[in-house]
Structure 1
Amino acid sequence: MFPKRLQRIIKYLFYSGLFGGTFYLVVKQGIKQFIVNLPTIYHSLFFIFLGILLWGINIHVLEHTNIDCTSLLATNESRPLRNQNNNFINYHNIYKLAYGYFVILFTSVLIYNYCDTFYEKSTTQWIAIITLIASIYALLMPNKILYRKERKKFLDALVRIVTPTFKLETAFCDVVMADLITSFSKVVGDIYVALAEIFLEVVVVPYADKKYGDNTYAVDGRSQKEISVHLHHHILLDLFGAIMILVPYLFRLRQCVADYFTKATKSQRRKSLLNAIKYGTSIPLYILSGYYSWIKSDIKNTSDKELLDPMYRHAKIVFTFWVISSFINSGYSYYWDLYNDWELCKKKKHDDEKFPFLLRPILHFSKHWMYYIVMIIDLILRFTWFVDVFSIFQLKNLFLVDDTPTIPEDIKKMKIQKLLLSRLLLRILEIIRRWLWIFFRLEKEWVFTSSEYRLLA
């Protein structure tokens, strides 16, 4: 009895110290500076763990509105109306899993801030990397601790999503999971970019320095070392960075193509093809995004003023096409959310049919205003990328973004921090958008598949 009580006391003291230490850092540094000072890996891990928590809230709320998420998210095709195994999806365990990851994250944040006062950044950044490795291991480890069943469900779904097959129809649970992953693509991309920058600093730069030194110069006045490092920067960050963000959309595109070949009816195959086109619009978007970053990096590393003017014109053309691609992708995606994922904006089949304006004949949620509000919020959040456009035009040089060399260092630092905070805001808004999307996506699936509603239709 005493050991259990002692364990409880130690646990509460640890959690109190963790909360108190984090609160002290936020008060001391200020919330803005606290966020800015943390490495990108911490930001990304926080968003991923927040996604786990929000998924638990999704299941919790839907179960309490009498939507059986267990039957909806079962992997087999013959989904029962009610599953007797109420523990198949347990939101309490999902909450505890998110809580466990938050403990790992904020413990590491406290250690990082403590070591940051004594060691160089090049040393303390490895604390964030070790935390990332520990988090991945905590997900993959075979031990029963940290709710192995919940972790295994995610890993099994992940394996099915990345399996390159076109012969099997995609289960609904895998569709939801793949869509969730697309909303975290930029978060995962941020982790990759952070690791690639460290790799450049630790491996590429010393190797180029050893191979070339600073004595051999090319025609444009740059050393071969600088050219080599710049080329690796292009490949690792601009090229593979864009590919890393695009990969989750390609997984979802593969699912749509598989559904096109496996669906039973012509209308279902047509819908799968149109859905594949939606994810296909992400390909030019992220290719242009990576190419635009490539051009910005070239501009930053060019000192010849005669070369800058054509490079700026080229950047302006690429940027214009990026904006057009973003509008097409966001507009098509918003249309798909309303008309297909949520089945809203339905037309009346006959004059006697009555249902709320812009909704559908059968709704599960009794509050109609919720549908209207989420339609407006989804529209706004689908176009939040436009904040990036405004942040670009706040600077003197349109296409250098945070790299403009003609402004004072303090203003430059302020601009970089503002750009970072706006980027983090966009990440969290996309996570919130997907969180809201799940409520109504599962509600629509419940209405269209449960027998009690099919009898009414």
Structure 2
Amino acid sequence: MFGSPTAIPSNSPHLRRSGSRPIFTIYTSNLVDPYFVSGEAGNNFEEGSVNLGELFEMKTANSPMQVAAIMPSPILLWRFKVLLFIVWGFGCCKIGWDSVMRMSVDLRDLFLYEAFLYYNPLLLVTMMVWLWGVNLWVFAQSGVSYMKIFDLDQNHLTHREIWKSATWMTIIVPTSMTAYLYLYSHGEVSLAASQPVLLYAIVAMVLLFPFDIFYLSSRYYLLRTLWRIFLPLQPISFSDFFLADILTSMAKVFSDLERSVCRMVHRQVATIAWFEADSVCGSHSIAIPLVLVFPYMCRFLQCLRQYKDTKEKTTLLNALKYSTAVPVIFLSALKYHVLPDRWTNNFRPLWLLSSVVNSLYSFYWDVTRDWDLSGFTRIFKFSKQHICSNLLYGRQWVYFWVIGSNLVLRCTWTYKLSAHLRHNYLTVFTITALEILRRFQWIFFRVENEWNKIKSGMQVSMSDIPKEEDKLLGSSN
């Protein structure tokens, strides 16, 4: 029963190849009956253009259902990845803690401070990428066409791709930091010094890589926008000043990045020479306030360029807002260049006054201009159906929360711009992270305001189009 040949229909999709004639396959209890190969059936076998290699290939090929049965389920893969991530995180924490405990008590704080300065910028950038993915996800759920707002093409990154990039950054940066702590605490100073240098070189190479990998179009878009921010010679687009506003919240990140690169250039990695007062990369360096003020000057020049193009006086008021950050930065930096008594009696009161002015001015501009919530009219008109009072994110308490938290975080914002308050690195890191959270909270409502303006313009343009009935009535008249 099992040895008799079985005929397969010639039109079976499993036995046809594109552009070939019908073929016949003979199944036996063994591989192939010799009679069918050597006898008359063998001639038919040759005429059917099937050889033994093709027969064996068809017999051993896996069907799509078999391949799907071999592949694990997506839920199982996700759980396995989460388990690996937990094991990796626990291993990094354990190795890092043991490495810190190996250091002597008098050098432990300096050891952590140096490691913090190398890896703090990239950790905060990783946090920024995660939050940007959250922003894109909320925009997609709320129906905001951020492609139209930022003038993106069809190849733009979605929130899933952003989160994938952030996941790799979350793995690579702490792994390099753990290797640095381990090698430094075990006396391998030269290998420890190579860890942050190698990490920074990889990041720069990925950003500047000219080939079509690692999201080339998105990297080119980012670099082009940064170039337009640094040299505002062309008319300013929404994405230009939007990214420039984000960079102002990362001024502390750029300052630490400058000091890290400075130590790498001067071969001061994995040393404590930079803590000396006369060190090139120490706290007395004039480059620190210059790097801190650079994002604000870029935004200041953008406002002047907008005034040249539009002649709107509000752009000058916006430029004044960014200029109020300059006294905060430079008055704080004077502490390292004047006598302590003169700083306490003369410059410290001026620094406090400039900090209050800058914080309140920036808070006022956020509420009234960037979010268009002047006088809370949009909140109190929540029940009215009007395009200018359309609250995109639903409930009123969300807007009360963002206004209150923005005021508090604006007041603490000047802390991270003050060079004389930089030595408590944990406090500075916390306040910088809170500032980044405030900025990406600001993004939700800034984009909402811009989207409402676009929708309002679209409705106005649609109302200008004459209706078909009006055309018919006019033609009949």
User: TM-score, normalized by length of structure 2?
Assistant: 0.68
Residues of 1 paired with 2:413 and 2:243: CA distance? 23
Following superposition, the deviation at residue 198 of structure 1 comes to 5.4
Q: What whole-Å deviation, never above 9, does each CA across 1:332-388 have from its counterpart, x for those lacking one?
A: 000000000001024879xxx97149x963322221211111001101110114768
Residue type at the aligned position of 1:246: V
Counterpart in the other structure of 1:274 = 317
2:335–2:343 CA contact under 8 A, matched in 1: no
Residue from 74, 79, 89 that aligns with 2:151: 74
Counterpart in the other structure of 1:23 = 90
Counterpart in the other structure of 1:187 = 253
DSSP 3-state at the match of 2:412:
coil
Residue type at the aligned position of 1:53: W
Alignment of 1:18-417 (within 5 A): 19-27=86-94, 36=112, 38-74=115-151, 87-119=155-187, 121=189, 124-165=192-233, 168-197=234-263, 202=268, 230=278, 232=280, 237-263=284-310, 269-295=312-338, 311-346=340-375, 355-356=381-382, 361-385=389-413
1:67–1:446 CA contact under 8 A, matched in 2: yes
Q: What whole-Å deviation, never above 9, does each CA across 1:159-197 have from its counterpart, x for those lacking one?
A: 1111242xx431001111111111111111012123335
Q: Any unmatched runs of 5+ in structure 1? A: 76-84, 208-225, 296-309, 393-398, 403-415
Following superposition, the deviation at residue 98 of structure 1 comes to 1.8
Q: 1:387 to 1:245 in 2, by over 3 A?
A: closer
Q: Which fold has the larger relative contact order, with Cα–Cα distance below 8 Å and residues 6 or more apart in sequence?
A: 1
Residues of 1 paired with 2:433 and 2:406: CA distance? 14
Residue type at the aligned position of 2:285: D
Q: What whole-Å deviation, never above 9, does each CA across 1:88-130 have from its counterpart, x for those lacking one?
A: 3422222222223223213312322332332255652331122
Q: 1:150 to 1:5 in 2, by over 3 A?
A: farther
Alignment of 1:411-430 (within 5 A): 419-430=424-435
2:359–2:413 CA contact under 8 A, matched in 1: no
Would you say how many aligned residue pairs link Structure 1 and Structure 2? 375
Residues of 2 paired with 1:452 and 1:130: CA distance? 50
Residues of 2 paired with 1:183 and 1:388: CA distance? 10
Aligned-residue identity in percent: 26
1:381–1:430 CA contact under 8 A, matched in 2: yes
Residues of 2 paired with 1:41 and 1:453: CA distance? 48
Q: 1:116 to 1:314 in 2, by over 3 A?
A: closer
Residue type at the aligned position of 2:342: R
Residue type at the aligned position of 2:455: S
User: TM-score, normalized by length of structure 1?
Assistant: 0.71
Q: What whole-Å deviation, never above 9, does each CA across 1:277-306 have from its counterpart, x for those lacking one?
A: 0011111211112222334xxxxxxxxxxx
Q: 1:44 to 1:260 in 2, by over 3 A?
A: same
Report the aligned-residue RMSD: 4.1
Flag the structure with larger Rg: 2
2:251–2:292 CA contact under 8 A, matched in 1: yes
Q: Any unmatched runs of 5+ in structure 2? A: 1-61, 102-110, 464-477
Residue type at the aligned position of 2:134: I
Q: 1:28 to 1:107 in 2, by over 3 A?
A: closer
Residues of 2 paired with 1:95 and 1:386: CA distance? 30
Residues of 1 paired with 2:129 and 2:231: CA distance? 23
Residues of 2 paired with 1:368 and 1:174: CA distance? 30
Residues of 2 paired with 1:373 and 1:367: CA distance? 11
Residues of 1 paired with 2:426 and 2:448: CA distance? 34
Residues of 1 paired with 2:356 and 2:266: CA distance? 34
DSSP 3-state at the match of 2:285:
helix
Residue type at the aligned position of 2:409: L
Q: 1:127 to 1:5 in 2, by over 3 A?
A: farther
